Amino acid sequence: EAGVAQSPRYKIIEKRQSVAFWCNPISGHATLYWYQQILGQGPKLLIQFQNNGVVDDSQLPKDRFSAERLKGVDSTLKIQPAKLEDSAVYLCASSTSNYGYTFGSGTRLTVV
């Protein structure tokens, strides 16, 4: 089975610029998550989708972050404008149940 695909692997941008990340979950996985992992910390949930609907976005900084999953399959996460503190690894995960989570390899963002 193919895993969760994410792109790009790395991105370096200047503060105040915009950036977008893409995730393609495992086929058939209805639930998709975006996590932010700052160096030295555990992953923090930003947003959870069930098919194309948002289940939880309580920790998404909505003034600068947005995410969509229009057709209930792949998803994009956007940051506009980026701040220095947004430097982190952005992990996408998908699941069919409360137990079967699979993470992608992540996008490492550096904001300079």
Nearer to another protein, 19 or 93 (CB): 93
- Which 50-109 residues touch another protein, going by CB under 8 A? 55-56, 91, 93, 98-99, 101, 103-106, 108
Least gap, CB of 50 to another protein (angstroms): 8
Sheet with strand 5-7: strands edge to edge: 5-7, 19-24, 75-79, 65-68
Kindly determine how many residues on this chain lie close enough to bind another protein according to the rule CB under 8 A: 22
CA 16 → CA 38, 80, 85, 104, distances in Å? 19, 7, 12, 26
Minimum distance from residue 90 beta carbon to another protein (Å): 11
Q: Tell me if 28 contacts another protein by CB under 8 A.
A: no
d(CA 35, CA 41): 12
Q: Give the nearer residue to another protein in terms of CB position, either 7 or 18.
A: 7
Q: How far apart are CA 109 and CA 17, in angstroms?
A: 12
